[in-house]
Amino acid sequence: MFISRENELASLNNLYASDKFEFFILYGRRRVGKTALLQEFCKDKNTIFFSCEQTNYALNLEKITKQISTHYDIQDLPCFESLAQAITFIDKLQANSRLVLVIDEFPYIAKNNSLLLSQLQHLIDLKLQHESKLFIILSGSYLGFMENEVLGYRSPLYGRRSGQLKLQPLDYYESSKFLPKLNALGKLQVYACLGGIPMYLNMYRQNLSFEQNIDLLFSKADSFFNNEPLMLLKQEVKEVAIYNSIIYAIATGASKANEIATKTKEDVAKCLKYINTLCELNILQKETPYLGKASSRKTTYSICDPMLNFYFRFVFFHEASTITQDLKDNFEQYMSSQFRVVCKQFLLQQNCQRKLPFVFSSIGSLWNYDCKSRKDVKIDLVASCDSNFMFGDCIWTNEKVDSEILDSLKQKSKRFIKGLKKEIFMLFSKSGFTDALIEEAENSPNILLYDINSLFVK
The per-residue DSSP string of 324-378 comes to: HHHHHHHHHHHHHHHHHHHHHHHHHHHHHTT-SSS--SEEEEEEEEETTTTEEEE
How many CB atoms are located within 10 Å of the residue 67 CB?
15
Rounded Cα distance, 179 and 191, in Å: 10
Pick among 2.60.40.2470, 3.10.580.10, 3.40.1350.10, 3.30.70.360: CATH of 349-456:
3.40.1350.10
Which letter does DSSP use for residue 114 in this model? T
Contact of 394 with 343, CB cutoff 8 Å: yes
> Residue 294 has what pLDDT?
66
> Residue 296 has what pLDDT?
66
Q: Which long-range contacts (CB under 8 A, 24 or more apart) does 448-453 make?
A: 448/357, 448/424, 449/401, 450/343, 450/346, 450/426, 452/184, 452/185, 452/188, 453/184
- What SS3 class is residue 47? strand
Rounded Cα distance, 214 and 276, in Å: 31
Rounded Cα distance, 193 and 75, in Å: 51
Which letter does DSSP use for residue 136 in this model? E
The one-letter amino acid at 124: I
User: What does the domain layout of the chain look like in residue ranges?
Assistant: 6-166, 349-456
Q: Which long-range contacts (CB under 8 A, 24 or more apart) does 259-263 make?
A: 260/301
- What SS3 class is residue 24? strand
Cβ neighbours of residue 414 under 8 Å, at least 6 residues apart? none
Please work out, in degrees rounded to the nearest 5, the angle formed at the alpha carbon of residue 35 by the alpha carbons of 33 and 41: 100
Length of the chain: 458
The one-letter amino acid at 253: G
Pick among 3.40.50.300, 3.20.20.220, 1.10.10.10, 3.40.605.10: CATH of 6-166:
3.40.50.300
> Residue 170 has what pLDDT?
97
Rounded Cα distance, 380 and 156, in Å: 44
> Residue 114 has what pLDDT?
83
Flag whether the pTM goes above 0.85: yes
What is the Cα 9 distance to its own chain's centre? 17
Please work out, in degrees rounded to the nearest 5, the angle formed at the alpha carbon of residue 130 by the alpha carbons of 126 and 134: 100
Rounded Cα distance, 295 and 229, in Å: 30
What are the pLDDT tens digits along the chain (458 aa)?
A: 789 999 999 999 999 999 999 999 999 999 999 999 999 999 999 999 999 999 999 999 999 999 999 999 999 999 999 999 999 999 999 988 999 999 999 999 998 788 999 999 999 999 999 999 999 999 999 998 999 999 999 999 999 999 999 999 999 999 999 999 999 999 999 999 999 999 999 999 999 999 999 999 998 888 999 889 989 999 889 899 999 999 999 999 999 999 999 999 999 999 999 999 999 989 999 999 987 776 667 899 999 999 999 999 999 988 877 888 999 999 999 999 999 999 999 999 999 999 999 999 999 999 886 666 667 789 999 999 988 999 999 999 999 999 999 999 999 998 877 777 889 999 999 999 999 999 999 999 999 999 999 999 97
Rounded Cα distance, 112 and 128, in Å: 25
The one-letter amino acid at 241: A
φ, ψ for residue 452, nearest 5 deg = -70, -25
Contact of 360 with 384, CB cutoff 8 Å: yes
Q: Using CB atoms within 10 A of its CB, is residue 375 exposed (0-12), middle (13-18) or buried (19+)?
A: exposed
